[in-house]
């Protein structure tokens, strides 16, 4: 058990280093913004492109997606309906709060934790999940938010599909995933000097992004209703992996896919949850605090779920 804890601890230590560097003013907020711009616009897209272009497409199985996204959807519904009916939040707030349960930090936390815990070749199913994560989560979140707003204003829903697609395909990471899958499916050969350059960028992606994530979290302030934050964190860190476990076992998901889906499901809400709340200017304090608290707690909860996988 202790060896497992120490195996995943480096991932969270890098996040902590970034947090402390900004807190102690050894690394400025402008530097954090520049680092995150580099990772999100260049290094992570390179990582995703290379992963998708070489991915064994047999890992894209229905049982994997049903396992992970069944848990994510259950956490989304728990967080959203709890916010609406238990805590009496407006529907717009409730959808943004639900997004916290839906969008786990699988890329910046789930992937490196999987690699640390199970080895450098253990991330194939993680990339399969990541390939559809943003389209699935943003598709649900944006669609529901626009429907609620259209009903409030009496606007037409005819432009909704185009609006959802535009919002998703402005994202560099989604474009990198699509481009990588096209290269994979069409068996397009890439020159060695291009793949080597992309691999150099990709190797910088996760450590830089984890350090930057710590700096971003330092600027979140623990504010908001404590009860609803506990509700969100429970949906994200307990319900999501519990449902993923149940579905994965019932579908006899193969071991590597089961491990990857469980690690991804056990992660805290991602920074994308705050980006989504900011996009619609709703529930930002509660969402930001949930991301911060959830990330801190996920070191312990992910260790618990991982211990069950050994």
CA 173, CA 184: separation in Å to the nearest integer? 16
The pLDDT value recorded for residue 4 is 66
For residue 58, give both structure tokens.
């047999």
Of 145-149, 236-240, 248-252, least confident by mean pLDDT is: 145-149
- How far is Cα 266 from Cα 187, in angstroms, rounded to an integer? 34
Closest CA relative to residue 287, chosen from 76, 96, 84: 96
Domain parsing of the chain, residue ranges: 2-309
Question: How long, in residues, is the chain?
Answer: 310
Per DSSP, what are the bridge partners of residue 104? 269
Decide if pLDDT at 155 tops 70.
Answer: no
pLDDT at 310 over 80: no
Q: Which residues of 261-278 are buried (b: 16+ CB within 10 A; e: fewer)?
A: bbbbbbbbbbbbbbebbe
This model's pTM is above 0.85: yes
Q: What mean pLDDT do residues 296-310 have?
A: 90
Of the two residues 31 and 164, the one the predictor is more confident about is 31
How distant is the alpha carbon of residue 176 from its chain centre?
16
Taking the domain 2-309, which CATH number applies?
1.20.1530.20
| Mean pLDDT score, 224-233 | 93
Q: State both tokens at 216.
A: 């971003």
Task: Say if residue 3's pLDDT is above 90.
Answer: no
Q: What is the mean pLDDT of the chain?
A: 91
């Amino acid at each position: 058990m202790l060896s497992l804890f120490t195996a995943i601890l480096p991932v969270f230590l890098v996040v902590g280093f970034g947090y402390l560097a900004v807190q102690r003013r050894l690394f400025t907020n402008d530097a954090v913004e520049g680092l995150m711009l580099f990772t999100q616009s260049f290094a992570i897209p390179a990582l995703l492109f290379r992963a998708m272009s070489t991915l064994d497409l047999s890992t894209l199985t229905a049982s994997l997606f049903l396992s992970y996204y069944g848990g994510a959807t259950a956490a989304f519904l728990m967080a959203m309906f709890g916010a609406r009916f238990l805590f009496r939040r407006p529907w717009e707030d409730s959808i943004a709060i639900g997004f916290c349960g839906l969008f786990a930090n699988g890329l910046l936390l789930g992937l490196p934790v999987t690699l640390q815990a199970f080895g450098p070749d253990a991330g194939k199913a993680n990339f399969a999940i990541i390939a559809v994560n943003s389209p699935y989560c943003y598709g649900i979140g944006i669609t529901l938010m626009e429907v609620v707003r259209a009903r409030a204003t009496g606007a037409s829903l005819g432009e909704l599909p185009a609006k959802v697609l535009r919002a998703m395909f402005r994202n560099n990471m989604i474009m990198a995933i699509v481009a990588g899958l096209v290269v994979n499916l069409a068996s397009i050969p890439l020159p060695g000097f291009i793949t080597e350059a992309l691999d150099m960028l990709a190797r910088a992606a996760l450590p830089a992004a984890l350090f930057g994530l710590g700096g971003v979290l330092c600027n979140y302030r623990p504010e908001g209703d404590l009860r609803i934050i506990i509700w969100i964190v429970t949906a994200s860190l307990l319900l999501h992996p519990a449902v993923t476990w149940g579905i994965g076992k019932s579908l006899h998901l193969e071991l590597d896919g089961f491990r990857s889906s469980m690690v991804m499901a056990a992660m805290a809400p991602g920074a994308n949850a705050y980006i989504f709340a900011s996009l619609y200017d709703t529930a930002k304090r509660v969402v930001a605090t949930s991301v911060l608290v959830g990330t801190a707690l996920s070191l312990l909860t992910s260790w618990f779920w991982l211990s069950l996988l050994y």
